[in-house]
Amino acid sequence: MTLFLLTPSTVTPLTLDNLHSYQCQVKKAVTDNSSNYSPNEAPNKLSTRQSTKSPTKSVSKLSVHFPSAILAKQYANHLCDQTLVARSYNEVEVSWLPREKINSDYLLQQKFDVMFSRKHVMQGLLPSFNHFYQEVLTFPNYSVYWFSNNVMDNVDLKQYNIGLVSDSQSQSSHQLPIKYLRQSGYQLNELAIHYYSNKGGLLKAFLRGEVDIIPSVKGIPVLSDWPAEHLLLIDDTAPLGSVYVSKQVKPDFICTIQQSFTLLKPVLARLTQEPIHINDCNKLNEIFIEN
């Protein structure tokens, strides 16, 4: 899907980076043109033509943004297998476009139909984002820890090689650790901090012994049984995130999107001690329609 950014004198195409997205074709697509509509279309635009032996279905893509590539492909394939998705879309595209590349135009133009993000991130991009997107699902807070190969008791972090990710938008691997260090009285220039481009590289560096201590969560399999005395709490109130849906998406499709995130519950449940609830779809649709 290509959108255009309008300026007084130019029209610039706004497209996704293929290196940060995955697409799949929706299976079990309907063949009756009378029910083949896009959830982004108004009801009076529904086709009234009779179905034929070789119906032509207009291309309609469901575009989703994830904060990382983890589970992106699995989530896309999950949606592509859903009959309810096939009633409205031909394709699903899940993007993990780096957060620093997303600006207010993505929200103004509603580039993504669905975004897994955080409220402060959405507000930072566009203070009036709620005119374009609605929060339809909220996940509980989670805890972030320092993980070390040494006992974390009255330690002086000046003695350690610290690993962080370079992405300043990363809550768990950059923002919260930096906040912890500053609030603990450390000057960043007096610490041995090594930056990595992504969490995968950071974890590998830690397991290889390139750094002594990194921020992470208990839900990562290789760290799930890490000794408690080698952990130091950074923050236990970090917001896990919410699901936001474009207000161009028809209300009767919201429940399908909401329920699709049950696929992530087992993974997200490893990050938090709080229960993860899926709200009542009927109630959600009533709220969405009222707005």
Nearest CA to 26 out of 113, 85, 97 is that of: 85
Confidence (pLDDT) at 43:
38
Residues 176 and 154 in one domain: yes
What DSSP designation does 190 have?
G
Indicate if 80 and 224 belong to the same structural domain.
no
Q: Identify the pLDDT of residue 277.
A: 65
pLDDT on residue 122: 95
Please identify, among 219, 238, 257, the residue that sits at the C-terminal boundary of a domain: 238
Q: Residue 258: how many CA atoms within 13 Å on its side-chain side?
A: 23
- Region for 253 from its dihedrals, namely left if φ exceeds 0, alpha if ψ lies in -120 to 50, beta otherwise: alpha
The number of folded domains in the chain is 2
Examine the domain organization and report whether 88 and 209 are in the same domain. no
Q: Do 60 and 8 have their domain in common?
A: yes
Same domain, 59 and 132: yes
Q: Which of 150, 173, 166, 146 is nearest to 232 (CA)?
A: 146
Q: What is the pLDDT of residue 212?
A: 96
Same domain, 234 and 256: no
Tokens of 85: 């998705």
CATH of the domain at 152: 3.40.190.10
Range of the domain at 222: 142-238
pLDDT of residue 259: 86
Residue 273: what pLDDT? 63
> What pLDDT does residue 87 have?
85
Residues 128 and 246 in one domain: yes
Taking CB atoms within 8 Å and a gap of at least 24, the contacts of 49-55 are 55/31
Tell me: the pLDDT tens digits for 236-276? Answer: 999 888 999 999 998 888 888 988 888 877 777 767 666 66
Among 223, 238, 253, identify where a domain stops: 238
259 and 219 assigned to the same domain? no
Mean pLDDT by 10 residues, the chain (291 residues): 40 53 80 44 35 44 88 89 86 90 94 94 95 92 92 90 92 95 95 92 95 91 90 92 94 88 76 63 46 38
Q: Are residues 21 and 107 in the same domain?
A: yes
* pLDDT at residue number 291: 38
Position 28 scores a pLDDT of 66
**Are 97 and 7 within one domain?**
yes
Whether residue 68 is found in the same domain as residue 183: no
Among 217, 238, 259, the domain boundary falls at 238
Q: Does residue 200 sit in the same domain as residue 247?
A: no
As a whole number of angstroms, the distance between CA 239 and CA 268 comes to 12
- Residue 10 belongs to domain with CATH number: 3.40.190
Question: Measured between alpha carbons, how far is 61 from 281 in angstroms, rounded to an integer?
Answer: 23
- The closest of 8, 133, 57, 92 to 263, measured between CA atoms, is 92
